[in-house]
């Protein structure tokens, strides 16, 4: 499985990948249908706008409170987890995180790791690192399992296989799962996955999971899920390794209920997920199951860069619900794979530059009409459009010493900068503006019939023969 690694290639080829989806009516229809479904499910969960807005404000306040205390809370979390018997590891980069995880696997001569859904493990491309080390890494969330079987990456952070139809999955199972005949009955397909994976939960040496919230005051890792595979991965194998970004932390247990409510209602339109799994320690003496060892890997991978700037820090408020992508007209048109990053959609556009550098991601920030739908639904009120404009500024400004982010100025072009300079020179001067627009109105008929990208699907723009100011003057 997964013969060749699929590396991140966000900016390069972004337009070509977008075009491929946009030109495919079947995919267009399928994404539209899926997003409509998720949007209506969310809307049904928030019938009372006052409740929604006050809960969003509370969610925002909780996330900002905890981010403001982040270093202290990380130390407190570590102390409490350690006291509870959980081993805490720190990683600045994906390579360091992989080395820690594979080191634990190798110490236990592990052959098979079963994985609960973890976007951070996708972020560090753990599956490839594990396979290179001769350790099987098997995804157990149904969507992730499907995507892994197909040798693809998730196209949505909550619904990884949202780009696939049941017929495609039926063919995939018939081709790749031993002893399975073609069926496109969804219940039967889920049963196939269940049967394969149950055997793996039984055999696995290591269970890997993500973390939705880490509670500092109690030293608790919280996981949100519907399938039960997260519970399997964190309970059945003898070792559990959890991995999380350093920002997913709350000081107090009472911070969890509002965030959980916002998360499940925004993500899939459920008032709560089937399981909310809170893990505070490995198996204690006398207990009959649960892992003997629990590890937590805390990953930075660019998060501390976002943290350093007051505005960019808001990126870290995210609780990974995916509502921004469900409501994004761009995501709806191109799906998740076109982005080429682990995190697609609006949140992907604002978090990926910190992970991959603006060199690799500068064109992503331009792929937004700034319509504001993402910011409107974000359960913790991240001002996503504002952050996109900031990233455009960081990408296109002239490279300078002491930048706030890696790759600042990567999209700098002298030509583009001089175009905007000239634009400003005209529009800040009423006299110049007057001359230029007067020429435009008199000679508008000379406007070319091909106006670059604009006329690929639109008629050319032609200034009116008289400007408003001319009409007003004539009227007197």
Considering only residues 166 to 205 of the shown chain, the ones binding another protein according to CB under 8 A are: 166, 169, 186-187, 189-191, 193-194, 197-199, 201-202
Q: Is 424 in the site for another protein (CB under 8 A)?
A: yes
Q: How far is the CB of 281 from another protein (least distance, A)?
A: 5
For residue 366, give every residue at least 6 positions away whose Cβ sits within 8 Å of its Cβ, in sequence order, or none: 392
Site string for another protein, 442-471 (x = CB under 8 A): ----------xxxxxxxx-xxxx-xxxxxx
Q: Is 211 in the site for another protein (CB under 8 A)?
A: no
Which tokens sit at 55?
A: 């809960």
Instruction: Name which of 33 and 134 has its Cβ closer to another protein.
Output: 33
Q: Out of 46, 213, 307, 339, which residue is the one contacting another protein (CB under 8 A)?
A: 307
Q: How far is the CB of 129 from another protein (least distance, A)?
A: 17
Q: Is 433 in the site for another protein (CB under 8 A)?
A: yes
Instruction: Name which of 1 and 464 has its Cβ closer to another protein.
Output: 464
Half-sphere exposure of 404 (CA within 13 A, CB side): 14
Q: Out of 6, 13, 22, 152, which residue is the one contacting another protein (CB under 8 A)?
A: 22
Distance between CA atoms of residues 67 and 387, nearest Å? 17
Query: What Å distances lie between residue 21 and 168, 203, 332, 333, CA to CA?
Result: 17, 40, 10, 7
Helix axes 256-267, 49-68, angle to 10 degrees: 120
Which tokens sit at 173?
A: 């199972």
Q: Is 369 in the site for another protein (CB under 8 A)?
A: yes
Q: SS3 string of 419-467?
A: HHHHHHHHHCCHHHHHHHHHHHHHCHHHCCCCCHHHHHCCCCCCCCCCC
Distance between CA atoms of residues 180 and 255, nearest Å? 46
Half-sphere exposure of 429 (CA within 13 A, CB side): 10
Q: How far is the CB of 27 from another protein (least distance, A)?
A: 11
Q: Is 227 in the site for another protein (CB under 8 A)?
A: yes
Q: How far is the CB of 348 from another protein (least distance, A)?
A: 15
Q: How far is the CB of 333 from another protein (least distance, A)?
A: 5
Q: Out of 115, 164, 248, 381, which residue is the one contacting another protein (CB under 8 A)?
A: 164
Q: Is 149 in the site for another protein (CB under 8 A)?
A: no
Cβ-count burial 41-66 (b if 16+ within 10 Å, e if not): bbeebbeeeeebeebbebbbebbeeb
Distance between CA atoms of residues 135 and 105, nearest Å? 8
Size (the chain), residues: 476
Q: Out of 8, 55, 208, 249, which residue is the one contacting another protein (CB under 8 A)?
A: 55
Q: Out of 2, 6, 13, 15, which residue is the one contacting another protein (CB under 8 A)?
A: 15
298 closest CA partner among 233, 221, 223, 352: 221
Other beta carbons less than 10 A from residue 363's beta carbon: 18
Residue numbers 97-136 binding another protein by CB under 8 A: none
Applying CB under 8 A, the site for another protein has a residue count of 160
Instruction: Name which of 7 and 50 has its Cβ closer to another protein.
Output: 50
Q: Is 214 in the site for another protein (CB under 8 A)?
A: no
Instruction: Name which of 83 and 107 has its Cβ closer to another protein.
Output: 83
Instruction: Name which of 1 and 68 has its Cβ closer to another protein.
Output: 68
Other beta carbons less than 10 A from residue 413's beta carbon: 10
Q: How far is the CB of 168 from another protein (least distance, A)?
A: 9
Distance between CA atoms of residues 233 and 295, nearest Å? 13
Q: Out of 6, 45, 87, 92, which residue is the one contacting another protein (CB under 8 A)?
A: 92
Site string for another protein, 395-414 (x = CB under 8 A): xxx-----------------
Q: How far is the CB of 365 from another protein (least distance, A)?
A: 8
Instruction: Name which of 5 and 24 has its Cβ closer to another protein.
Output: 24
Q: Out of 27, 34, 112, 177, which residue is the one contacting another protein (CB under 8 A)?
A: 34
Instruction: Name which of 137 and 297 has its Cβ closer to another protein.
Output: 297
Which tokens sit at 248?
A: 């997913």
Instruction: Name which of 136 and 302 has its Cβ closer to another protein.
Output: 302
Q: Is 87 in the site for another protein (CB under 8 A)?
A: no
Residue 393 near residue 40 (C-beta atoms within 8 A): no
Phi–psi pair at 232, nearest 5 degrees: -60, -50
Q: How far is the CB of 135 from another protein (least distance, A)?
A: 20
Instruction: Name which of 258 and 403 has its Cβ closer to another protein.
Output: 258
Q: How far is the CB of 250 from another protein (least distance, A)?
A: 10
Site string for another protein, 242-281 (x = CB under 8 A): ----x-----xxxxxxx-xx------x--xxxxxxxxxxx
Query: With CB under 8 A as the contact rule, which of the stretches 121-129, 225-233, 317-325, 341-349 interacts with another protein?
Result: 225-233
Which tokens sit at 165?
A: 């139809």
């Amino acid at each position: 499985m997964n013969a060749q690694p699929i590396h991140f290639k966000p900016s390069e080829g972004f337009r070509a990948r977008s075009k491929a989806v946009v030109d495919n009516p079947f995919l267009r229809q399928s994404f539209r249908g899926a997003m409509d479904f998720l949007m209506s499910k969310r809307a049904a969960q928030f019938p009372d706008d006052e409740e929604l807005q006050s809960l969003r404000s509370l969610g925002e306040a909780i996330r900002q409170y905890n981010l403001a205390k982040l270093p202290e809370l990380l130390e407190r979390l570590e102390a409490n987890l350690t006291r509870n018997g959980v081993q805490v590891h720190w990683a600045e980069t994906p390579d360091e995180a992989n080395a820690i995880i594979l080191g634990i696997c190798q110490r236990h001569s592990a052959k098979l790791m079963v994985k609960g859904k973890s976007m951070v493990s996708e972020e560090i491309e753990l599956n490839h690192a594990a396979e290179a080390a001769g350790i099987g890494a098997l995804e157990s969330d149904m969507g992730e399992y499907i995507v892994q079987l197909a040798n693809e990456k998730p196209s949505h952070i909550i619904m990884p296989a949202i780009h696939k139809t049941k017929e495609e999955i039926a063919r995939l199972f018939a081709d790749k799962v031993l002893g399975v005949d073609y069926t496109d009955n969804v219940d039967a397909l889920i049963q196939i996955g269940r049967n394969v994976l149950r055997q793996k939960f039984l055999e696995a040496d290591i269970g890997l999971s993500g973390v939705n919230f880490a509670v500092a005051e109690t030293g608790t890792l919280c996981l949100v899920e519907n399938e039960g595979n997260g519970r399997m991965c964190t309970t059945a194998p003898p070792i559990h390794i959890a991995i999380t970004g350093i920002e997913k932390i709350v000081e107090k247990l009472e911070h969890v209920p509002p965030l959980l409510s916002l998360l499940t209602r925004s993500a899939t339109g459920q008032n709560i997920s089937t399981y909310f799994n809170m893990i505070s320690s490995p198996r204690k003496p006398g207990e009959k199951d649960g892992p003997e060892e629990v590890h937590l890997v805390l990953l930075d991978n660019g998060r501390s860069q976002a943290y350093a700037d007051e505005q960019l820090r808001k990126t870290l408020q995210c609780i990974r619900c995916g509502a921004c992508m469900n409501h994004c007209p761009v995501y709806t048109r191109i799906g998740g794979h076109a982005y080429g990053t682990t995190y697609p959609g609006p949140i992907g556009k604002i978090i990926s530059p910190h992970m991959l550098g603006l060199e690799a991601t500068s064109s992503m920030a331009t792929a937004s009409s700034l319509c504001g739908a993402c910011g409107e639904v974000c359960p913790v009120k991240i001002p996503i459009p504002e952050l996109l404009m900031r990233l455009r500024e960081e990408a296109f400004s002239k490279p300078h010493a002491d930048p706030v982010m890696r790759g600042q100025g990567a999209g700098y072009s002298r030509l583009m900068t001089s175009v905007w300079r000239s634009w400003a020179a005209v529009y800040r001067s009423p006299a110049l503006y007057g001359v230029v627009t007067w020429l435009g109105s008199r000679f508008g008929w000379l406007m070319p019939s091909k106006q670059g990208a604009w006329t690929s699907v639109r008629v050319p723009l032609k200034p009116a023969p008289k400007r408003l100011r001319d009409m007003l003057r004539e009227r007197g």
